[in-house]
Amino acid sequence: MDYKTSGVDIDAGNETVRRIKGLARATFTPGVLSEIGSFGGLFSLGASWRDPVLVSSADGVGTKLRVAFMTGRHDTIGADLVNHCVNDILVQGAVPLFFLDYLATGTLSPDIAEQIVGGLARACQASGCALIGGETAEMPGFYAQGEYDLAGFIVGGVEREHLITGAAIAAGDVLIGLPSSGLHTNGYSLARRIVFDVLKLSVDSHVPELGETVGEALLRPHRSYLPVLRPLLGKRILKGVAHITGGGITDNLPRIMPLGTGARIDRHAWRTPPVFRWLGEAGSVPEPDLRRAFNMGIGLILVVAEPHVAEVQRGLLEAGEANSLVIGAVEGGTSGVRYA
């Protein structure tokens, strides 16, 4: 028995690595010291930092991957993964430095791997983040034909004095919501049940309520908030920032709130995008469950002292975000999120 007979094709792996190399190299920033193919990726912090704090996060794409499988489009989920990770460190004030991916599949297709990594590389480049390494694992028997899993790992940096921690959040602070681009990467197990099992639609089905196909609505990439938030970093006017992922506003906003403070969300402050209404009605999903499964149209929440609200919204506007909204306030002597 030779090695290839066992289901592992080292040569296909090497071909994939060759294709990925060029994609990754295009993302390299001045800090990158290594060539892809070294055992580890090398990144020099450089001399410009005074007291750097490294902020890191690991994430996956979740079952949104299954929509990619169904549509045969593998070039958008890279942006989902990278932007999710970028947002997760952005909320603590960090800008991205480098990224590594883990791509696991049953049988490696260099073509599909190239589409996936191409998407990762484009999203990394858009965020000034070097795709410095990763692992492509061929695991026969673990994944169904044509399926894979994808995880990402990001490291960013922030000066310690500019860390956004939420510690200073107090009653009376204002909650500013930024619109999401769609479901982002959360709630897909529920959404798929509703769309494919209850409504029995296909990814090509046109949905009149949405004015687009199921595949277009469900595959729209997770938005990065780095471009619109970057001008506000390091100015000490963001007391806290919450990325609205799995668990919705209900579970994510409390993660940054100090003990003894809660949030009042004015549910009429923004118009819930049609995709969430459509899913909720088709699936008869109770409102509290809907709010824990989905972002409901708000992908990021900024906590700002009342006197800074206008400055923050002006900064967002100048950076291209015209649709920020005051969606609630911090309340004392309570905890969690209250929808009013």
Taking the least distance from each CB to its own copies, the nearer of 269 and 282 is 282
Interacting stretch for its own copies, rule CB under 8 A, among 18-26, 43-51, 208-216, 304-312? 43-51
Among 283, 297, 299, 328, binds its own copies (CB under 8 A): 283
CA distances from 71 to 178, 213, 227 (A): 29, 11, 29
Among 33, 167, 317, 340, binds its own copies (CB under 8 A): 33
Taking the least distance from each CB to its own copies, the nearer of 234 and 246 is 246
Query: How large is the C-alpha radius of gyration of the chain?
Result: 21
Residue 64 to residue 80: CA distance in whole angstroms:
9
Q: How far is the CB of 310 from its own copies (least distance, A)?
A: 26
Burial of 45 (0-12, 13-18, 19+ CB in 10 A): exposed
Residue 40 to residue 33: CA distance in whole angstroms:
10
* Interface of this chain with its own copies, residues 184 to 243, rule: CB under 8 A: 189-190, 192-194, 198, 242-243
For tokens 């938005």, the residue is 223
Q: How far is the CB of 37 from its own copies (least distance, A)?
A: 6
Taking the least distance from each CB to its own copies, the nearer of 15 and 251 is 251
Among 19, 21, 102, 264, binds its own copies (CB under 8 A): 102
CA distances from 183 to 102, 126, 187, 307 (A): 23, 21, 7, 32
Q: What x/- string results for residues 129 through 148 when contact with its own copies is judged by CB under 8 A? A: ---xxxx-xxxxxxx---x-
Torsion of CA 293, 298, 303, 309, to 10 degrees: -160
Q: How far is the CB of 14 from its own copies (least distance, A)?
A: 8
Q: Is 274 in the site for its own copies (CB under 8 A)?
A: no
Neighbours of 11 (CB within 10 A): 8
Q: How many angstroms from the chain centroid is the CA of residue 135?
A: 20
Q: Two tokens at 20?
A: 């990925």
Residue 215 to residue 228: CA distance in whole angstroms:
27
Among 16, 27, 57, 324, binds its own copies (CB under 8 A): 57
* Interface of this chain with its own copies, residues 148 to 177, rule: CB under 8 A: 149, 151, 153, 155-156, 160, 163
Q: How far is the CB of 24 from its own copies (least distance, A)?
A: 12
